[in-house]
Amino acid sequence: MPLAAGAQGYPTKPVSLMVPLAAGVPTDTVARSLAAAMSRPLGGTIVVENVPGAGGTIAPARLKTSTADGHTLPLA
């Protein structure tokens, strides 16, 4: 007879919101406001990571190689 499994809580670690631009630009301000708004209902920490450079291609490359666990999100 199978046993019921409880759902794991989310987030289980800090969530990274990856921004492909430098800190201080308007997109960064939006990202920080969004992170604050998201952290309340999720009950976890949202960290804004600014990853500028190479015409905005470094952030997607890092996102592609990150663990696919839902804890790394892009801001596009």
Tally of CA atoms within 13 A in the half-sphere of 39 that contains its CB = 16
- Give domain limits for the chain: 15-74
Long-range contacts of 61-68 (CB under 8 A, 24+ apart): 62/18, 63/18, 66/16
Full-model pTM: 0.82
The gap from C-alpha 28 to its chain's centroid, in whole angstroms, comes to 13
Listed as ranges, residues in the chain with pLDDT below 70 are 1-2, 4-6
- Supply φ then ψ for residue 13, to 5 degrees: -155, 170
pLDDT at 5: 66
Alpha-carbon gap, residue 57 to 43, rounded angstroms: 31
Fold of 15-74: D-Maltodextrin-Binding Protein; domain 2 (3.40.190)
pLDDT at 76: 83
